[in-house]
Every structure is written in C-alpha cells, then in structure tokens.
Amino acid sequence: DAGVTQSPTHLIKTRGQQVTLRCSPKSGHDTVSWYQQALGQGPQFIFQYYEEEERQRGNFPDRFSGHQFPNYSSELNVNALLLGDSALYLCASSFGLAGGNKNIQYFGAGTRLSVL
C-alpha cells in the first residue's frame, strides 16, 4: 500500500515563474492538505481540499492555488514566484477533514522548491 507520494522531489525556478506540485494521497484517503515548511521552521498550513473543493485556507496570498481531482489527487500551483517561496512543500492526506479531530494526517516526503 503506497503512502502519500509527491512529485517532483526537487525543483528549481526563477522569480516570476509559475510552478505546479503534485500529490497522490494514501489509498483510501479523500482529503488532501498542503503545507509550506521553511528551513528550520514548522509546517505552515496553506489549504485543505475535500470533495474537489477548498474547505479551509491558511494565511497565504491568492498566488497559491490548488485543485483536487476526482481520484483525490491534488495539485498546488504557485504563481509569480518570490525568493521567499523557497521551501519544502508538504502534502498530507487523511480520511475526512483534518484539524481539531482524530482524523490522522499522513505526510509525503515533500517537494523542495528553490527560487533563484
């Protein structure tokens, strides 16, 4: 049983470009959450998708957008990249909405994005 898989593992972009990161949830999970983890910091919640809709959003500008597909996989898109967007982007999946309840989140290994 595959866990949460993310692609690509590493990515280098330049300022102003756009990027798309991909996530396949753990088998049986229907909810995907995205986090940004800067070096030496804890993960920061970006948004959560359930039933192909954004259900909850953290304090991130609308340059960050996402999508969930009928097979529950998800994409994170970031437009007009800034140097400060350099980070590890983590995807987590759960069965049902996560946060404040016992729906356990399983994390992927992340995509390391470097913006030059």
Give residues in contact with another protein (CB under 8 A). Answer: 4, 33, 35, 40-45, 48, 56, 58, 90, 92, 98-102, 104-110
Residue among 72 and 89 whose Cβ is closer to another protein:
89
45 or 72, CB closer to another protein?
45
Minimum Å gap between C-beta 16 and another protein is 29
Shorter beta-carbon distance to another protein: residue 70 or 88: 88
Length of the chain in terms of residues written:
116
DSSP letters along the chain, please?
Answer: ----EEE-SEEEE-TT--EEEEEEPPTT--EEEEEEE-TTS--EEEEEEETTEEEEE-S--TTEEEEE-TTS-EEEEE-S--GGG-EEEEEEEESS--SSSS---EE---EEEEE-
* CB 15 to another protein: min, Å: 26
At 21, the amino acid letter reads L
Q: Which is nearer to another protein, 21 or 92 (CB)?
A: 92
For residue 50, the minimal CB distance to another protein (Å) is 13
